[in-house]
Amino acid sequence: MGLTWKNWVLTALLGAAAASGLTTLILLLAEATSVLLPADTKFGIVFDAGSSHTSLFVYRWPAGKENSTGVVSQALACRVRGPGISSYASNPAQAGESLQGCLEEALALIPEARHQETPMFLGATAGMRLLSQKNSSQAGDIFAAVSRVLGQAPLDFWGAELLAGQDEGALGWITINYVLGMLIKYSFSGEWIRPLEGTLVGALDMGGASTQITFVPGGPILDKSTQATFRLYGSEHRVYTHSYLCFGRDQMLTRLLARLVESSPGPLVRHPCYHSGYWTRLSPATLYESPCVHTTPPPDLAWNLTVEGTGNPGACVSAIRGLFNFSSCEGRRHCAFDGVYQPPVRGRFYAFSNFYYTFYFLNLTSKQPLATVNATIWEFCQRPWKQVEASSPGQDRWLQDYCASGLYILTLLREGYGFREETWPDIEFHKQAGGTDIGWTLGYMLNLTGVIPAEVPARWRAESYGIWAAGVVFAGLTLLATLGAVAVHLLRPRG
């Protein structure tokens, strides 16, 4: 039987009501998405010019800020092709050109309307610190070349500068505690809250040329030169921080090899940290190019050295300990090594960068006990080189160095920083936290947002969204009610 005109009208009205409800739902979802990515989002770009490579990070945050600090998230991470900018001492222009690829990716991501107001900063760390010590003129040429390239971009270029080691450590500490929600987080009740001071996490960073330790000690910081103070989200923080130049992974390996060369009478060098069966040839002149190497070079640098591995972890530890001056801390209560003041370590720590990469390769990032960590590294060091190569196909050029790096990390953390068997479980090894790369750049951006004015108060945005959403719901319900009334009128029996 065909539909009567009343049934047809009713069907049409119900279809319209369903369409109206669906439209209302779509509009609500669309607005919810725009709240997650608001139109007034701000952006910032930071280049991390490390000793071995440069990385670009793009961050974004809503224009309204919480207690004068932006709520920042990572939008892009781009690794620049080639080595660190300090490697371009003989061709400074190439240092600037190397940044173009990642810069173009950042410009494509950020809306063009936001380009001119987007701050951009390049911070150079230990690699450029060493070059500045060795040849300040070459370092200046590199900074000038980098600044010329970045200054031509349609962005608000804040400059290219040498980042102090203390700043690198403190900003890395800010990054970790921010992404873990230790500085501020959003509660279920819809309010921003600050966790307790005792929950803050320490930071252990290791680059190619330097290593940093930063944490909140249990008592006062007696040496004020090791104290960093800053204000975030309405709270003031004081942390202990120190950076050890020449104690990064790459420079440690260079210094270690130079000491072994010095103690060898001829062109054959036996390396206890290299696996048995491994050998390589190198020119000794390359070792003494580093400002970190203070030993006397051989009288004749023309001949090449042959370096053979012996796979002896005990002798490797002894050689590594020679890189530290532990005797300078004898009789001193709060001292790490090389005469540097350090209060006792306290609380949880996140170890990242080369701490993480080394322990990740050795499968030691799952909070294994100290005895297990030590036994695993020693067993790895004693493996023949052919076995190591076979079990790690396609590994990077650092494959022969993981034994030395693992034992160095153990020595630094235990004998240097003072972690004990009972405090070892407090160290966690991570590359990221909450999907964000751990390093100094996010901490820098958080500090930077403190001087960028907010455009729209967060409360106003919340209220405007609520009014808009209520209006959509009200309109939708009004339309449904009207359609329902018409349907009832049409279907009412007539007599």
Answer for the pair 287, 269: CB distance below 8 angstroms, yes or no. no
Answer for the pair 31, 465: CB distance below 8 angstroms, yes or no. yes
The position carrying tokens 């294994």 is 368
Structure tokens at 456: 């729209």
Structure tokens at 114: 């936001």
User: How far apart, in whole angstroms, are the C-alpha atoms of residue 282 and residue 262?
Assistant: 14
Return all residues near 347 (Cβ < 8 A) that are at least 6 apart: 198, 200, 201, 202, 215, 216, 426
Q: How far is CA 447 from CA 163, 172, 242, in A?
A: 14, 12, 19
**Stated length of the chain:** 495
Sheet with strand 279-282: strands edge to edge: 268-271, 305-309, 279-282
User: How far apart, in whole angstroms, are the C-alpha atoms of residue 106 and residue 98?
Assistant: 14
Q: State the catalytic residue, choosing from 97, 105, 168, 330.
A: 168
Cβ contacts of 144-148, under 8 Å, gap ≥ 24: 144/92, 145/88, 145/92, 145/93, 145/94, 145/95, 145/96, 146/49, 146/85, 146/95, 146/96, 146/99, 146/122, 147/96, 148/96
Clarify whether 308 is annotated catalytic. Answer: no
Residues acting as catalytic residues? 168
